Structure 1
Amino acid sequence: MKTIMHTSETRGTANLGWLNSYHSFSFGNYYNPERMSFGALRVLNDDTVSAGMGFGKHPHDNMEIISIPLEGDLEHKDSMGNTTVIKQGDIQVMSAGTGVFHSEYNKNSDKEVKFLQIWVIPNKKNVTPRYDQITIDDDNLENNLYQILSPNKDDNGIWIYQDAWFHMGQFEKGHTQHYSVKNKNNGVYIFVLEGNVTVENNELKKRDGLGIWDTNEIKIESNSTSKILVMEVPITQ
């Protein structure tokens, strides 16, 4: 088993006034040659957007873009004709493929919106752009790692063009959970949304990340009420 720890305070930062963002991997003006990605997991941004503000229309191509709202309401518009508002409990995916424009704004004028912006490098290029979103019932997360993303259209959650699986779970103190790796060539990146957990003898607090590979199963112990995101992706590109 091999591991790499990224504590919350070592992340890159960008504060534009209206946007406060923390980057687990190199992004924008934050460049760290030792933190370019975790395999196919290219971007993990922890964004807070001020009331009424947001990202204007901008392009993407050949990237799987996943948005996970943590608080507030995020309005999405794109060149495929989609106009939606996503909130906590929703999971959104956009396969940029041959190219798409989109914008993301805080829908509310009186409170912040917080969300994770995640990019996964696809295994198929120049696909027709597509959009999808789902809503997760919190009951499915209780003391359980619930699948929210996979490579398979017929599985639980959204799907992307990559051999990747995402799970989310919220645990009570003292709960132990095991995660079985789906593909032996994959690694797993665990990101703590709330609380404190121990993963294979590594203690993680809120917004810490731990990458693990060369193993078939991962033990997760909850030291407090906690919530985590588990992202399994190909470890080599």
Structure 2
Amino acid sequence: MISLRHANQRGKANFGWLDSKHSFSFGSYYDPQHMGVSALRVINDDRVTPGAGFATHGHRDMEIISYVLEGSIVHKDSEGNVEVLPAGEFQLMSAGSGITHSEYNASNTEPLKFLQIWIQPNTLGNTPRYQQKNFGQTLGLTTIATPTGENGTLQIKQNATLSQLILAPKSKITYQIATDRKVYVHQVAGELSIEDQPLSAGDGAKLTDMSTVTFINPSDTQSTALVFDLP
């Protein structure tokens, strides 16, 4: 079964410096029908004005992924990590027993656009950890995060896998879904068709009780999506 969540149905928050769209309940936006999918609890589509950002604040027991689409993030945390996260890179901060951090737009002239993703860990009180990597723009499925960190992937403390899907125009790929697994697809850019269900940028699709699914790019431009394989 495929359940679509269109971009214009997401929750909204605008603080002037931050314009955010929430795929699931977050902050002041509450929708009991959209509390997340399995361990996936947050996908926020954030746009930050030049020079602005999130002041130092705390997290614990959450796997927090940032994926920069435009611009760069300056990241600082209580573990001593001071990093710049440019467009195309993924960051995974395992908050564990507790961590504080700040994230700012690295530019005073250009806007920042990134996805903020939260996944609940399957163990609590872990030592905080920071990971960052650019996985490139290879066509097809590229594994980004796994429970083991195998093959150079980011290691996430959950029985979940995150993949980047990039399809050339007029191409397709088949994805195998293991028994009792759930899949959530977030469309990042371009268009995607999932079993004749169309997705555009910002749309999401929850896939349940399916063993295989075919992703098709029906357009004349490249398509990019994130694929979450969840318990």
Is the TM-score greater than 0.5?
yes
Output the amino acid matched with 2:84. Answer: V
Counterpart mapping for 1:219-230 below 5 A: 219-224=214-219, 225=221, 226-230=223-227
Give every structure 1 segment of 4 or more consecutive aligned residues whose post-TM-superposition deviation is greater than 6 Å. Answer: none
Distance of 2:23 and 2:60 partners within structure 1: 21
Paired residue type of 2:43: L
The equivalences for 1:154-233 within 5 A come to 154-181=150-177, 183-224=178-219, 225=221, 226-233=223-230
Whole-angstrom distance in 2 between the partners of 1:155 and 1:47: 30
Q: Report the more deviating stretch, 56-65 or 167-176.
A: 167-176
Shift of the alpha carbon at 1:158?
0.6
Q: Is the 8 A contact 1:64 1:122 kept in 2?
A: yes
Q: Indicate conservation of the 8 Å contact 2:72/2:84, yes or no.
A: yes
How many residues align? The count is: 229
Task: Give 1:82's aligned amino acid.
Answer: N
Q: Is 1:91 matched up with 2:90?
A: yes
2:33 is matched with 34
What TM-score results when the alignment is normalised by the length of structure 2? 0.96
Stretches of structure 2 that go unaligned for 5 or more consecutive residues are none
Alpha-carbon shift at residue 169 of structure 1 (Å): 2.3
Give the alignment's Cα RMSD to 1 decimal: 1.0
* Residue type of the alignment partner of 1:175: S
For 1:52, the equivalent position in structure 2 comes to 51
Counterpart residue identity of residue 153, structure 2? G
1:12 Cα deviation (Å)?
0.2
Residues 147 and 156 in structure 1, CA contact (< 8 A), matched pair in contact too? no
> Kindly, what percent of the aligned residue pairs are identical?
40
Structure 2 residue 79 is matched with structure 1 residue 80 = yes
Residues 75-103 of structure 1, C-alpha deviations (whole Å, 9 max, x = no match): 11000000001012211001111110000
- How far is 1:186 from its partner? 1.9
Residues 144-200 of structure 1 deviation map (CA, whole Å, 9 limit, x = unaligned): 11111111122342110011111112222210111122x423211111111111102
**Structure 1 runs not aligned, ≥5 long:** none
- Rounded to whole Å, the distance in 2 between the matches of 1:123 and 1:215 is 24
1:126 corresponding residue in structure 2 = 125
